């Protein structure tokens, strides 16, 4: 299986640069896996495709304002730093630009000295371990100085940083949003629950590896990044009860999907647990837990496109994307949505 098998042509103007004023007014394409049929809707109509007894699984991770702009303490040279994950205490794994200016021992100052950092090690793929120094609470300092780490294909400035968070974001730790969830409003979620659909909250902290291109032509040789997940007892019980009663597990996003498929046993049941996942889902994978997926439209040749192609089929997905381009759907993080059922 080749990476180039997952290529499609996308006009630049279809990449959504800004979120819509109303989250739930984005478009929704519904793809039926059984017969390949496609229909077009507004996202709030997702409720018509959810049945009493189904379970919607959402990822309640919260994006941290992980992009920091600072200067080298000794030379004043500009440095951009992106937090990837907390290793321990005040030591974080980061991506630093330009890397050649951030050797071990380099000291960086942010926000007139409110936050300082020292590069303590250079690790795999050129990432840096940095130790932060500050007074007060780190999250509050970061909130004041940091910017939302929008994907590289979004060039517009985000006016309201909450628009790159889901309305149910709770646990801080992501370097990118679980974007399928951006379409939900609190009102829509309340209506869904009132219909008799259960909602299970799980957590997967999204890493920037999500945007890392697949650089090998043989898909099976791609090295997947690792991401931290948590499923609590309440969520596990809700998911398992739904399965026992014959309801469907509808995953919101590829991040929820990867978590569920990592944890599920052969019968699709999950348990209370936490850990790191490097699961790579591509065509040929047998899904154990999920029955349907709500997702956005993904980059050509990406691991996310491979995941949705595993759920439907590569031909079905690429045909649907061809129609989405023709119908001028909006693509990627702030774009429109798709239900694969």
pLDDT digits (tens, 9 = 90+) for 131-149: 999 999 999 999 999 998 8
pTM: 0.91
Pairing of strands 292-296, 337-340: antiparallel
Query: What does the pLDDT average to over 79-105?
Result: 90
DSSP 172-220: EEESS--GGGGG--HHHHHHHHHTT-EEEEEEE---GGGG-----SBGG
Phi, psi of 40 (to 5 degrees): -120, 135
Collapsed DSSP state (helix, strand, coil) of residue 20: coil
Q: State the residue for tokens 């090295």.
A: 223
Give 209 or 262, the one with higher predicted confidence. 262
pLDDT digits (tens, 9 = 90+) for 320-335: 999 999 999 999 999 9
At residue 184, the pLDDT reads 98
Structure tokens at 69: 């702009």
Its sign, for the CA torsion 95, 96, 98, 102, is negative
pLDDT digits (tens, 9 = 90+) for 267-309: 999 999 999 999 999 999 999 999 999 999 999 999 999 999 9
């Amino acid at each position: 299986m080749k990476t180039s098998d997952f290529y499609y042509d996308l006009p630049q103007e279809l990449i959504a640069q800004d979120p819509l004023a109303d989250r739930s007014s984005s478009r929704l394409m519904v793809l039926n896996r059984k017969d390949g049929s496609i229909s077009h809707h507004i996202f709030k109509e997702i409720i018509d495709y959810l049945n009493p007894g189904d379970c919607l699984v959402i990822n309640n991770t919260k994006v941290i304002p992980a992009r920091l702009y600072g200067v080298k303490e000794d030379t004043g040279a500009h440095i951009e730093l992106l937090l990837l994950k907390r290793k321990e205490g005040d030591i974080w794994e980061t991506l630093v630009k330009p890397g050649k200016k951030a050797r071990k021992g380099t000291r960086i100052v942010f926000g007139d000295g409110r936050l300082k950092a020292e590069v303590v090690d250079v690790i795999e793929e050129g990432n840096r371990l940095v130790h932060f120094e500050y007074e007060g609470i780190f999250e509050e300092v970061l909130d004041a100085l940091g910017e939302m780490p929008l994907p590289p294909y979004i060039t517009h400035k985000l006016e309201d940083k909450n628009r790159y968070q889901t309305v149910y974001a709770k646990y801080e730790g992501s370097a990118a949003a679980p974007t399928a969830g951006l379409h939900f409003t609190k009102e829509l979620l309340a209506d869904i629950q009132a219909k008799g659909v259960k909602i299970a909250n799980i957590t997967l902290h999204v890493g920037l590896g999500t945007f890392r291109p697949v650089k090998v032509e043989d898909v099976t040789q791609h090295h997947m990044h690792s991401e931290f997940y948590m499923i609590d007892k309440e969520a596990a019980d809700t998911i398992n009860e739904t399965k026992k009663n014959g309801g469907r597990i509808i995953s919101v996003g590829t991040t929820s999907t990867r978590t569920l498929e990592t944890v599920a046993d052969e019968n699709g049941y999950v348990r209370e647990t936490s850990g790191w996942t490097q699961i790579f889902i591509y065509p040929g994978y047998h899904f154990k837990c999920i029955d349907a997926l709500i997702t956005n439209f993904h980059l050509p040749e990406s691991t996310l496109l491979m995941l949705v192609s595993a759920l439907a089929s590569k031909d079905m997905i690429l045909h649907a994307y061809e129609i989405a381009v023709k119908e001028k759907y909006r693509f990627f993080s702030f774009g429109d949505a798709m239900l694969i059922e």
